Amino acid sequence: MSGVAGRRDQIIAQSVAKARDIAPDLESILFNLYPNADTLDTFQPGETDLATVVAVYRAVAAELAACGVRVFVQRADRASFRRWMDGRADTPENRWAWRDRANLLRGAAALEALGVDPGLASHRPKLGNAPGPLADRLIATFADEDQDGSGFEDLAEDLLAAGRKDVLDLAVRKVNDRLGDETAENLIAELLGAAEGAEIGPSGWAELVALPVALPPRDVPDATELCASLLAADVLPASVEVRFLPGWRSPDALARLDPIAVRHALVDIVAGLEPRDMPLADTDELAEAGFGVVLGVQTDWSVPLWEEVAANGLPLIRPEEDEAPEDVLRKAAFDRWRAAAFETGGGCVPLALVSLSEVEDEIADFLAEAGQQVHGIADIREFVAMTRRESPGEEIVCRPEFIGGGLELSIYTGGGRLVDFLSLPADRMPARAEEILQMLGAIVPLVKDIPGR
């Protein structure tokens, strides 16, 4: 054996051993496919041994695929890569971050491009037809506290992908009969969470997201313009791409969807279709109810690149309580965007970009926080409702004034007639003025001056 061949075999063996060690903690991996040595040298300066790189990638991909890791491939393109690097510092991190989002290969196609047996692409066993045994299996994996949850997640995914509503409904009924309403609701919540994300889309993973918004009582803002301004505000990580659907949806209607309907919606939206089970809502009805939702699909491009993993190991998972500097900056950018949206959107209050299954809790948290920040919020709502009853057929507006730390609300008709006023003392005003105005704007139109003056 020549020295070159022996060294290559040693590099391959070390790489495969590393892949075997990290496979249990890895869900997916991305490989660059280099057409020639010059392209390899462009992406990895100083590296021109294309034969060794190809052999290593082939062996590592085969090992990881056999362990159940999803394999992706992108064809390295020098022109696209140079455009990506233009204006960026020439660092390994920036070189590793390049993604060919339009032409990513995955599954059997990715393995075949690397020269690996495409049959290694994971195939789960077929489901049986009888719903009873499948429902019992799902319940058993859901209730097994000794498992890490992967058994339940895998079976739930198979059932969702197959559209087995009969099995899911039966499992929920059985859990309800055996363990009670609360456990059945927990099962439904887990199934809904599983349904809103799947291994589909151009990056291999996509999930439904939603932007709940507290709406003004009139002149509901255009959903497309609102979301376009959000995407332009630089509030999303570079590895995340969100595409919003036009129009508003009803949070109440979304809350009534079952897991199969949610998965159907995800598949439809990823395919560029209007979701069959999530029709557009009437904006007047949403304004009266107080909240609307804009739907979107989020594509995650954060598939780790083998070159980076080989050099630095797996990315560290930051504890949830720790915030990176970039997270703090994005949060500040979101707050600035939300304040601007309130000004330009007629007093609307965007909440947060959340998973579809979190919409109901996000709205409840907003209302609870509003109740904490303004102890008299219920009084304000009743006060506004009463003034509307006293002025049938007339438009009413609110002129808020902060006096001595307290708040005085004066309700006028559009013609300038004072209908009534309400005073809240300072001890009931713990929130900032801007936050209070945002909450008020979701209840009644606000004006700076008395109408007609």
Locate the DSSP E strands across 157-305. Answer: 197-198, 206-214, 240-244, 291-300
Note the pTM of the prediction, 2 decimals.
Answer: 0.74
Cα→Cα distances 425→407, 429, 430, Å: 6, 7, 10
Q: Which tokens is 153 given?
A: 């997640």
Q: Which residue in 252, 226, 235 sits closest to 346, CA to CA?
A: 226
d(CA 153, CA 65): 19
Residues of 392-413 as b/e, b for ≥16 C-beta within 10 angstroms?
eeeebbbbbeeeeeebebbbbb
Locate the DSSP E strands across 230-346. Answer: 240-244, 291-300
State residue 343's pLDDT score: 80
For 62-111, write each residue's pLDDT tens digit: 999 998 899 999 999 999 999 999 999 999 999 999 999 888 898 899 99
d(CA 352, CA 209): 10
d(CA 100, CA 105): 10
State residue 338's pLDDT score: 87
Locate the DSSP E strands across 315-438. Answer: 349-350, 354-355, 396-403, 406-413, 418-424
State residue 255's pLDDT score: 93
State residue 428's pLDDT score: 64
Q: Identify the segments of the chain with pLDDT beneath 50.
A: 374, 430
For 334-346, write each residue's pLDDT tens digit: 888 988 888 888 7
